[in-house]
Structure 1
């Protein structure tokens, strides 16, 4: 998935209470909406509102409900994809939590609860963003004692395995920092497959073997290549490399069958024949596992522009694989925000103008931009790799040839962005890191508008712009591909946020508005996103590399004219933009180069850009940023609990309404999901 995550490092300061599923029954947000649900470690849990849900028809609500059930059924898949021990560990931790009889005031127990909450949030034992395995704050002795105190039926042992043998196998995975230390390793010069702990590859298989396996499958002259390996685990069995496909009758069959059950129900209340065809083709793909069917589904989905209700469901995201081949399971359910969509419709209606006038070499531009569909959505349910941490914008499908021949769908998830914005009151973050009142006033006046607009442009036009030259392998940039693609989309959005065309179209109110986005982007890319990095570490996550690449490149290439600089005041470092017009021009130069690298499949060019500008961290500046951020007592990462959708049935069992509740707490929701939506065996081998 080409997706955008929140780039503004804000934090929240509104207190909130947590309720339970049993207390659910409220169908509209309370007047004093409580945004913050929980916070622990480096995480803050929020809730979001679903404005407009009550105005949907009963049939539309029913469709949202069925699609939401299908979304939740895939939760176990992502846990297993993220690491082969994740389900065993999660189920063990949950059993301890539910059966614990000891002292709940002890440090071991308190740290145990924090660890469990982190596992839920990350869908596994590795940090959801930093990729490193997080260390438990409780002791091995505490863990062993609690496991042995459980009823034996509650310990997820393998067939014939004793509890002691289970502990011997699992304990190092949790406690030993040298065992499976990184979910996704992007370090140049290392074997990225052997040093990554994700569960997309099985057996003693190397990066070269993976690359060679898929290289042999590809036909460089095929104008419509499938996404090779996208829906399978690659395994070495008795010395032979084989694909274990995720489908009915294959890996994850138990969960996929339940997803299909709810999709079939959704098909009975589809809004249009086109939407029904989309759902049926997705079901067929799940049943057969044929990636050509996935492409057929994607084309139907792109063409379904009349339905108000929409969804993503399936193997989509590939950031969890260091080679960008395997799709993590994810879902969201949403409906169109009709009023806000007028903004994105204006953008998409002018897509050809933006393509024609971009600073990119003509060789890399699309002669005809097809099928750019953009909308603003209200999300009603998040799942899989969209939950609890979620993107704020999405552009699909990923296939370059489908995007070229049929177009793409781009969405901005405005109710999620609004939740961030509404909750980020009086945090003190901007006051601490923004240079002066001039920038602060600009951010307060234009910040939310330009944030949303940059996401619109990133998703609607950025990912859909440009083209590969004939014969260029879509995977030519390998481990650097995701960073380059996100940089390309971000740059397209940034370049046009500063273009007078947006004022002419009535999307921005005046020619000063873009400066708020430029300042925030440079401050974040050069400084404040470092709050998400542990001391002494460099940057590995693709979105963070992308943002530093852009900001650092602009800073370095603008030095001669002092376009952007660091200034000191009261012993603190600040980013200052001195010339916004020259910054706009520099962004255009970098966009042209990034598009060239992408279009030509220039691996060495991609490597140089990412390694020179996107990876290394100024450790002195990093230490300063962390110290200043710590004093604010904020959490750098945010995630969400879902509202609870409840079907109200008549005496015959037919759904007569769907109610929505915002009272469920984080722990309650996670335990409910584990109890209700957990069909996979503990070990999927």
Structure 2
């Protein structure tokens, strides 16, 4: 594979309609449908904040794709595109559509899963020929502005500029260093300023400007005189994305009319305060109300949530989830929650490293109507504020229609790479069940566990200070993310994945029946396929390892690779291959190791070690241990070329839109779904009318 091919947008990717129509139409009232509609609009209004955090050119590429679609009179299918474009051949039209679809699915020109840049497979000159044929001055000017950056692969991964990588969390600041970012972040933390909704600019005079996303431009911190340790001033500029955040506030104000209870009213009002003023403290308060809003018919969570894509690991990416409860699936998860404490006692660490009391969360299965973000997860465990989780609890969310999303008309027969022929049908039969079990344990008992031993105030501790086993702890105002920094996300995802597989293998008889798997042979098959899925995920995770930068581009895959390596070194499986190019590489599991405690002990050793390091804020030893576990030695790195050659494109998910039809009390909400094609993806975004 050439170096350029590594960057091409996916070809023949599965495109799936994320259907939510049935559950939306089953909502008990039109008010609930309107509530969902306005929350969805508010979620999508934050789209520019996503684009702006990815790359400088992403907002303009977004506009370019939609302007081209409009110029062509809104083609609804790929065939309509093919019939309307005469300036380039059919193959190049498809290449353009594949790029546009992948861009919209990732909300930017870097993959949300892997952080690697992608470029169109259509050559630059051919794309320019197509652009010129449209004879639209606005489109031509916009394309000229972004043409070079669309095709530039010199900064192929997201990360700190000093490492030759790219990020727009620090716009127009090519010379900003990791050390400077960390210095600014420490000053913010010491003044109890939360960074999730910020970006940082390094000015020519060496000072820094912290951009804060908000509708209003009033500076909440004008009374502060903040200076970095080396004497550089920190300024604030509120109103980043002000136009879009004003629309967010407007739509949330409409949603407020249709809330179902006082808790939802408090939740939406705090959202409005946060997005209007830029106050992250208001957002944290909103999450307390969100946790208290128990099993609503329409669930939502909106804001700067996950911090994976900020190189420093502290700034959030905009997300907006709106979904309906699947009551049948939720019953299974409720049963799991009710027995969670029993499973926690089986985890391989002393109670001093676990929360004093497990607060049962709201665990629901949702059918996604809207997920505005750079990618749609299969499960969520939020809020991410550690003190809210500890004092008020959290929610686990399994996204049912994401878990089961498959194309109606697959483009080609699916062959699962790197597994034995005898495992092909079993893998396909049980993978959805395995995924659901894995996600359930991962979110509830993975992210839902771990006590952060903390000095909550000067001289006040949430643990026994005389216990000699606890030699380090979190200081006042320190959080898990602030201490473990850029590796916090990957480290925590690995810990949660370990918890899930550990429990699947350690106690299938008690755990799996709760999730509907009662047959003894099915339970053994789940144990086998869940292990195979994890090992295979670790192997194909090599796609996301950059051997030149020595950097992982995807936190989940770094964790899964480390787990794979642990199981390999324990003798749970071996790689079989007879060809020099490893084209027949196959994973062969010694199934007896799943039943004689070999796998459980290997997973338990890894899990307990990283868990204790997290619990005690032991960053130095914790990261040394984890980075060694996830280091790609030559014994594994040699497989990367065949992994890249055999890689399969990820599914692209098309989401529905809702529209208010009619006026006043007689108005109704219509849900519109789209063709499962690249054109259908573009049309879905076009009809959202996202403008900035």
TM > 0.5 fold call: yes
Q: 2:612 aligned with 1:596, yes or no?
A: yes
Match of 1:419 in 2: 405
How many Å apart are 1:565 and its aligned residue?
1.8
Q: 2:525 aligned with 1:554, yes or no?
A: no
Distance 1:517 1:664 in 2: 29
Match of 1:274 in 2: 263
Corresponding residue SS for 1:456 = helix
Match of 2:315 in 1: 326
Aligned match for 2:510, one of 497, 501, 504:
501
How many Å apart are 1:589 and its aligned residue?
1.6
Higher relative contact order (CA 8 A, sep 6+): 1
Q: 2:449 aligned with 1:449, yes or no?
A: no
How many Å apart are 1:110 and its aligned residue?
5.1
Match of 2:34 in 1: 62
Distance 1:287 1:114 in 2: 37
Aligned match for 1:523, one of 528, 535, 549:
535
Match of 2:641 in 1: 623
Aligned match for 2:491, one of 474, 484, 496:
484
Aligned match for 2:621, one of 578, 592, 605:
605
Aligned match for 2:651, one of 635, 638, 644:
638
Corresponding residue SS for 1:512 = helix
Query: Which aligned pairs between 1:250-265 and structure 2 lie closer than 5 A?
Result: 250-265=239-254
Query: Which aligned pairs between 1:14-93 and structure 2 lie closer than 5 A?
Result: 40-41=10-11, 43-50=13-20, 51-57=22-28, 58-93=30-65
Query: Which aligned pairs between 1:82-121 and structure 2 lie closer than 5 A?
Result: 82-96=54-68, 99=71, 103-105=87-89, 111-121=95-105
Match of 2:119 in 1: 135
Deviations along 1:619-650, one digit per CA (max 9) or x if unpaired, are 442333455x37xxxx4311211123343436
- Asked if structure 1 preserves the Cα contact closer than 8 Å seen for 2:418 and 2:586, the reply is yes
Of 374-383 and 65-74, the range deviating more from structure 2: 65-74
Match of 1:206 in 2: 177
How many Å apart are 1:145 and its aligned residue?
6.1
Corresponding residue SS for 1:378 = strand
Deviations along 1:630-676, one digit per CA (max 9) or x if unpaired, are 7xxxx4311211123343436x5732353443547543543553465
Distance 1:97 1:444 in 2: 37
- Name the CA shift for 1:112/1:505 in 2 (closer, same or farther; >3 Å): closer
Distance 2:327 2:46 in 1: 29
- Name the CA shift for 1:42/1:214 in 2 (closer, same or farther; >3 Å): farther
Distance 2:487 2:671 in 1: 45
Aligned match for 1:294, one of 270, 283, 298:
283
Query: Which aligned pairs between 1:258-407 and structure 2 lie closer than 5 A?
Result: 258-385=247-374, 389-407=375-393
- Name the CA shift for 1:53/1:136 in 2 (closer, same or farther; >3 Å): closer
Distance 1:425 1:542 in 2: 29
Corresponding residue SS for 1:340 = helix
Match of 1:654 in 2: 666
Match of 1:574 in 2: 586
Match of 1:172 in 2: 148
- Asked if structure 2 preserves the Cα contact closer than 8 Å seen for 1:443 and 1:516, the reply is no
- Asked if structure 2 preserves the Cα contact closer than 8 Å seen for 1:390 and 1:639, the reply is no
- Name the CA shift for 1:420/1:528 in 2 (closer, same or farther; >3 Å): farther
Of 470-479 and 258-267, the range deviating more from structure 2: 470-479
- Name the CA shift for 1:424/1:467 in 2 (closer, same or farther; >3 Å): farther
Distance 1:200 1:336 in 2: 38
How many Å apart are 1:456 and its aligned residue?
0.9
How many Å apart are 1:234 and its aligned residue?
1.2
- Asked if structure 2 preserves the Cα contact closer than 8 Å seen for 1:434 and 1:575, the reply is yes
How many Å apart are 1:273 and its aligned residue?
1.7
- Name the CA shift for 1:620/1:606 in 2 (closer, same or farther; >3 Å): same
Deviations along 1:307-350, one digit per CA (max 9) or x if unpaired, are 11111222112111111111111112111111111111112122
TM-score (norm: length of structure 1): 0.80
How many Å apart are 1:239 and its aligned residue?
2.5
Corresponding residue SS for 1:257 = helix
- Asked if structure 2 preserves the Cα contact closer than 8 Å seen for 1:532 and 1:636, the reply is no
Distance 2:577 2:127 in 1: 48
Corresponding residue SS for 1:487 = helix
- Asked if structure 1 preserves the Cα contact closer than 8 Å seen for 2:295 and 2:364, the reply is no
- Name the CA shift for 1:572/1:124 in 2 (closer, same or farther; >3 Å): same
Match of 1:161 in 2: none
Corresponding residue SS for 1:527 = helix
- Asked if structure 2 preserves the Cα contact closer than 8 Å seen for 1:200 and 1:321, the reply is no
- Name the CA shift for 1:281/1:593 in 2 (closer, same or farther; >3 Å): same
- Name the CA shift for 1:299/1:412 in 2 (closer, same or farther; >3 Å): same
- Name the CA shift for 1:654/1:315 in 2 (closer, same or farther; >3 Å): farther
How many Å apart are 1:48 and its aligned residue?
2.3
TM-score (norm: length of structure 2): 0.80
